[in-house]
Amino acid sequence: MRYLILSDIHANAHALNAVLDDASRLGYDRTLCLGDLVGYGGAPAECIERTFALAPVGLIRGNHDKVCAGLESPALFNDVARKSVEWTRSVLSAGDLARLAALEPGPKVIARDLEICHGSPFDEDHYIFDASDAERAILTMTARLCFFGHTHVPAVFTSSRDPMQTGGALEPDEMRLPKRGPALINVGSVGQPRDGDARAAYGLFDVTRRTVRLRRVTYDIRGAQQQILRAGLPTWLATRLERGQ
Ligand code: ZN
């Protein structure tokens, strides 16, 4: 059983399409989506459509989905994010806004050993950036493995007593998960990576082999940027894509 793990698509259809092509080539059985389908990018409707068409077994909301759906005020968002919320709300159909509003909050348990959240297992909007955030999150996890998003930075946190397993034949981008202890895994962002690598990021979790692949995929960044600029969104939203910021 292999899960395709998508997070923080952020209305970047060019990146999403490239990721789905790559994932189809490698093969997967089920899809999990950790939220932030929209916000920042210029193709919110297409990203909602493509994501729902995958019929994810887990599909939870991110903070941008929540605000774009009108469930929460954008008061805490910065100027650029707020502008993108206003634009997104103006172009989405009532049906798409309703689909966003109906997204479940995380965390969500997918299987006995597996849960997903957008920010952290104890607060859907909380960022997990470092080991101390991760320690707090691990204490509140229901399942042993938790996939999270929100930071747009790929990361894996495990217990020091039960580190990642090594050895055996693995792909270059593949790692074996700990045998017993907990693991918190961020596969990065499909549509707005922020780790300095502009390529789209996603993950493949193989339950049987107990491995995770952190994939990076090149995509038509120029196309995504043109869509943002044509929409009249802030230029920074286009610039940051080529910088991976
Ligand atoms: Zn996000």
How much is the pLDDT for 180?
83
Confidence of residue 168 (pLDDT cuts 50, 70, 90): confident
**How many beta carbons lie within 10 A of that of residue 74, not counting itself?**
21
Distance 88 CA to ligand 1 centre (A): 14
Distance 35 CA to ligand 1 centre (A): 7
Question: Looking at per-residue confidence, does 180 or 48 come out higher?
Answer: 48
> How much is the average pLDDT of 67-95?
96
For the ranges 60-69, 152-161, 200-209, the lowest mean pLDDT is seen at 152-161
How much is the pLDDT for 167?
65
The residues, ordered by sequence, that sit 6+ positions from 15 with a Cβ below 8 Å of its Cβ are 9, 190, 191, 200, 217, 219, 224
How far are the Cα atoms of 219, 223, 230 from residue 17, in angstroms, in the given order?
Answer: 8, 12, 20
Q: Which two tokens stand for residue 174?
A: 């593949």
Backbone angles phi, psi at 174, to 5 degrees: -110, 145
Which strands form 114-116's sheet, in the order they lie side by side?
108-111, 114-116, 145-148, 183-186, 155-158
97-125 pLDDT per residue, tens: 999 999 999 999 999 999 999 999 999 99
Distance 166 CA to ligand 1 centre (A): 31
Distance 85 CA to ligand 1 centre (A): 13
> In the chain, pLDDT over 90 holds for what percent of residues?
89
Q: Are the CB atoms for 185 and 3 separated by under 8 Å?
A: no
Q: Are the CB atoms for 187 and 5 separated by under 8 Å?
A: yes
Distance 25 CA to ligand 1 centre (A): 26
195-217 pLDDT per residue, tens: 999 999 999 999 999 999 999 99
Residue with tokens 């789905």: 20
Backbone angles phi, psi at 128, to 5 degrees: -105, 105
Distance 36 CA to ligand 1 centre (A): 5
* Ligand 1 (single-atom ion) residues, CB below 5 Å: 8, 36
How much is the pLDDT for 198?
98
Distance 160 CA to ligand 1 centre (A): 28
Q: Provide the H-helix boundaries in the chain.
A: 13-26, 44-53, 63-68, 79-91, 94-101, 131-140, 221-230, 235-243
Residue with tokens 């043109």: 226
Distance 154 CA to ligand 1 centre (A): 13
How much is the pLDDT for 137?
94
Q: Which two tokens stand for residue 34?
A: 């950790």
How much is the pLDDT for 64?
98
